[in-house]
Amino acid sequence: MSDSVVAPTEIALRKASRLLELNYGDIRYQLPFELLRVYSPSAEVRGHGPGQEVLQTGKRNVDITAIEPVGHYAIRIVFSDGHDSGIYSWDLLESFCQNQQSMWDVYVKKLQAAGHTGDSGRDVPMLKSGGSGCAV
């Protein structure tokens, strides 16, 4: 998929497991809602430049309430906490799939560095340690 941008043939919400499923024919990827929310490509989350990122906390139970197409290149995700300003391009979603374990690791380290613990609402990654991607 990295040679050319390919839109998924199907996008499905798996609300019970809080996973966004992206199907590309015989390849299926699953991305946790929490990962999508804490790494939203919006300026609200990423800021307007390096070092301006805003750590997202308490998103373990966030849901996706709607998905809207943006042209032929992306989707806009509406989350249950009211966040709806991120545009997720097909390239970005592919990157999330390929790098989700390292993204979780970085996120957890940032939470810990900010003093969050399980008791204070620290979100725990939904992936098992040592996972290498999201193709299923």
Residue with tokens 């390292």: 102
In a domain? residue 17: yes
In a domain? residue 99: yes
Give the pLDDT confidence score for residue 70 in this predicted structure. Answer: 97
Residue pLDDT, tens place only, 72-119: 999 999 999 999 999 999 999 999 998 999 999 999 899 889 888 654
Full domain range(s) for residue 108: 10-115
Q: What would the two tokens of residue 121 be?
A: 């609402």
In a domain? residue 41: yes
- Pairwise CA distance, residues 35 & 19, whole Å: 10
Give the pLDDT confidence score for residue 135 in this predicted structure. Answer: 56
In a domain? residue 106: yes
Q: Which helix (H) or strand (E) segment is 12 a member of?
A: strand 10-14
Q: CATH no. for residue 57?
A: 3.30.2020.30
Residue pLDDT, tens place only, 48-81: 888 899 999 999 899 999 999 999 999 999 999 9
